Amino acid sequence: MKRLLLFLIVPTLALAQGPYRVAVNQPARYAVQLDGTSQYLSKSSPSSMDLNGSEILSNTTWEVNTTGWTLAAKATRTSDQAHGGSYSIADTGGTLETTWIYQTLSPTISGYKVTAEAWCYVVSAAGGRPRLVLLDAGSVTLAQAYADTSKKNQWQKVVINYNAAVGNAIKYFELDFSATSGLCYWDDPSLTQAYDALLLARVKRSGTTTYRDLLRVRAGTLNYKLGTGTTGENLFVCYMHDGTTALASNYSAGFPYDGQWHLWAGQIVRTGTTGGVSYFDGKAGTAVNLSTLGKLSGADGLLIGENSAGILLDATVGELLVIRFDALPSDIASWIAYASTQRFIPDPPAGGTVVLKLLGKENSFRDQSGTQGILTNNGNAQTTRY
Ligand SMILES: [Ca+2]
């Protein structure tokens, strides 16, 4: 009789829960416990965490020649200055037609988002500014960005993030310097795809509130912190770094170090002005502008729970995912809210490609190539099943 009752009760309970659980604070199935003193996970050469595609431009160093580029009369290859290597291109101010340096893109670039950038060294500028510009086949300006002429005699990065999926095709990548007079140098131009990205982590933490890095990809490209040590110790920060500029997207309502499981998410969209958003248990923080963020590629090492300076995280880490998209779905906030109520982080939304997946069970990760690479378990961190 007891057995019969169980048969009756168990399915009834399951049905009562419905197809979707609505509770937050769902535990991870497995999790890695990091003690904050000796334990972290690492991999020296993740096969790919790249949130940019390969370089589209040719001959981006000008170390040997200027092949592939059209230089107007006032643009000259020189070894007087260089951002990378020994050579750059000097540009003296003048009319547009006398100062441009451009590369014609073949095929034209369309159907996805791009990051365009170049390094500029301003010596002097009167009546104008050095400019990076993307043009269509009719030489109509699609997007442009200027060097800051108040920053003299130093290299600065000029960045454009442009959505060629909804805008016109890019035909020309151009640097110029319309001014009455002046001198600047250009070096290391770049044009790459700019993937959107979504980071998700199921983590619980209690006790200390000092900020610690959850995920760091060395070479300063992608950084995911728990809290911040500067303005309150209780923030969740999705912190992105392109090697030059750091931009933080804060969820500042106060992260409770309450020993409960919480789902944290951060989105990276570089086009537009509201692309950086952090989420805590499905609730969105204030959006920030990431449009000046340059390339996020260049990963040469992966750290989970360590900041590369030996500062370690004290937390229990369940799932950790980084998903990239050609374009993040517009309804991503509702998907994150849904994910925050699930026992396991659900499959990525349509169009997403998982570039990092940490499973606490295996201390392993899966990258975008589908191969699974075992992380080095420093300090013998223990895995727990919940
Ligand atoms: Ca160079």
**pLDDT tens string 298-331:** 445 677 877 667 778 888 888 888 888 999 998 9
Tell me the CA–centroid distance for residue 249 and ligand 1, in Å.
33
Tell me the CA–centroid distance for residue 185 and ligand 1, in Å.
10
Give 105's contacts (C-beta < 8 A, 6+ positions apart): 56, 170, 171, 172, 173, 191
Confidence tier at 73 by pLDDT (50, 70, 90): very high
Tell me the CA–centroid distance for residue 84 and ligand 1, in Å.
4
Contact status, residue 145 vs residue 134, Cβ threshold 8 Å: no
In this prediction, residue 255 carries a pLDDT of 53
Tell me the CA–centroid distance for residue 128 and ligand 1, in Å.
24
Confidence tier at 86 by pLDDT (50, 70, 90): very high
Contact status, residue 162 vs residue 170, Cβ threshold 8 Å: yes
Tell me the CA–centroid distance for residue 98 and ligand 1, in Å.
22
3-class secondary structure, 37: coil
Tell me the CA–centroid distance for residue 213 and ligand 1, in Å.
34
Tell me the CA–centroid distance for residue 69 and ligand 1, in Å.
14
The residue-averaged pLDDT of 257-274 equals 84
Domain residues of the chain, as ranges?
22-52+195-385, 70-192
Cβ neighbours of 331 (radius 10 Å): 9
**pLDDT tens string 357-366:** 887 777 777 7
Give 333's contacts (C-beta < 8 A, 6+ positions apart): 277, 279, 284
Burial string for 238-264 (b: 16+ CB within 10 Å, else e) reads bbbbbebeebbbbbbeebebeeebbbb
Comparison of pLDDT for 281 and 226, the residue scoring more? 281
pLDDT of 261 higher than 90? no
Whole-number Å distance between alpha carbons of 339 and 347: 9
Whole-number Å distance between alpha carbons of 100 and 74: 8
Whole-number Å distance between alpha carbons of 329 and 350: 8
In this prediction, residue 75 carries a pLDDT of 98
Whole-number Å distance between alpha carbons of 129 and 370: 46
In this prediction, residue 1 carries a pLDDT of 45
In this prediction, residue 386 carries a pLDDT of 78
Burial classification of residue 8, based on how many CB atoms lie within 10 Å of its CB (0-12 exposed, 13-18 middle, 19 or more buried): exposed
Q: How far is CA 240 from CA 120, 128, 250, 262, 326, in A?
A: 22, 32, 11, 21, 18
In this prediction, residue 208 carries a pLDDT of 61
Residues pairing with 89 in the sheet? 77, 186
Tell me the CA–centroid distance for residue 62 and ligand 1, in Å.
5
CATH architecture for residues 22-52+195-385? Sandwich (2.60)
Comparison of pLDDT for 106 and 221, the residue scoring more? 106
In this prediction, residue 164 carries a pLDDT of 96
pLDDT of 219 higher than 50? no
The residue-averaged pLDDT of 189-208 equals 85
Tell me the CA–centroid distance for residue 298 and ligand 1, in Å.
18
pLDDT of 58 higher than 90? yes
Tell me the CA–centroid distance for residue 190 and ligand 1, in Å.
12
In this prediction, residue 373 carries a pLDDT of 74
Confidence tier at 230 by pLDDT (50, 70, 90): very low
Tell me the CA–centroid distance for residue 75 and ligand 1, in Å.
14
First and final C-alpha spacing in the chain: 31
Q: Whole-model pTM?
A: 0.82
pLDDT of 177 higher than 50? yes
Comparison of pLDDT for 374 and 192, the residue scoring more? 192
Confidence tier at 256 by pLDDT (50, 70, 90): low
Determine what percent of the chain is predicted with pLDDT higher than 70.
76
Q: What value does the mean pLDDT of the chain take?
A: 81
In this prediction, residue 235 carries a pLDDT of 46
Tell me the CA–centroid distance for residue 79 and ligand 1, in Å.
9
Tell me the CA–centroid distance for residue 68 and ligand 1, in Å.
15
Q: Domain 70-192, what fold?
A: Jelly Rolls (2.60.120)
Tell me the CA–centroid distance for residue 59 and ligand 1, in Å.
10
Tell me the CA–centroid distance for residue 120 and ligand 1, in Å.
11
The token duo for 258 is 């309450």
Do the first three CATH levels of 22-52+195-385 and 70-192 match, i.e. the same topology?
yes
Comparison of pLDDT for 159 and 47, the residue scoring more? 159
